[in-house]
């Protein structure tokens, strides 16, 4: 595969994630859209580093570390959403906006 193919894949993932994040009202669906967008950036970064510097693994290691951090961040986000749902019964973004101040 070529670099262009990976970049097209990353653009498609980012577009689907952006649509999902902007069009949904469920907090979980918005988080899934954000996850797709971050994955698209990571795919593009990994492909770029692989094709520009194929013998240096430092870019690939950085992408792996970013994926681990992203997984932990999403797990914490889902934990907050579950706690919010259990405490207040809130699962939509409109209802969560009323919890401010």
The per-residue pLDDT for range 38-68, each reduced to its tens digit, is 999 999 999 999 898 888 888 888 889 999 9
Q: Domains of the chain: which residue ranges?
A: 3-91
Contact in structure between 50 and 64 (CB atoms under 8 Å): no
**More confidently predicted of 101 and 6:** 6
Instruction: Label residue 4 by pLDDT band (50, 70, 90).
Output: very high
pTM: 0.81
pLDDT of residue 9: 96
Burial of 1 (0-12, 13-18, 19+ CB in 10 A): exposed
Ordered DSSP codes for the chain: --HHHHHHHHHHHHHHHHHHHHH--BHHHHHHHHHHHHHHHHHHHHHHHHHHSTT-THHHHHHHHHHHHHHHHHHHHHHHHHHHHHHH---BHHHHHTT--
pLDDT of residue 58: 83
Check if CATH label 1.20.120.330 holds for domain 3-91.
no
Interval 14-43 mean pLDDT: 92
């Amino acid at each position: 595969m070529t670099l262009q193919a990976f970049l097209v894949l990353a653009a498609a993932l980012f577009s689907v994630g952006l649509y999902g994040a902007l069009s949904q009202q469920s907090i979980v669906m918005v988080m899934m859209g954000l996850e797709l967008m971050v994955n698209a950036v990571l795919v593009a970064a990994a492909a770029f580093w692989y094709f520009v510097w194929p013998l240096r693994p430092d870019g690939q290691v950085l992408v792996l570390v970013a994926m681990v951090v992203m997984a932990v961040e999403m797990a914490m986000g889902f934990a907050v959403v579950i706690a919010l749902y259990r405490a207040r019964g809130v699962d939509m973004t409109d209802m969560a906006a009323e919890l401010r101040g």
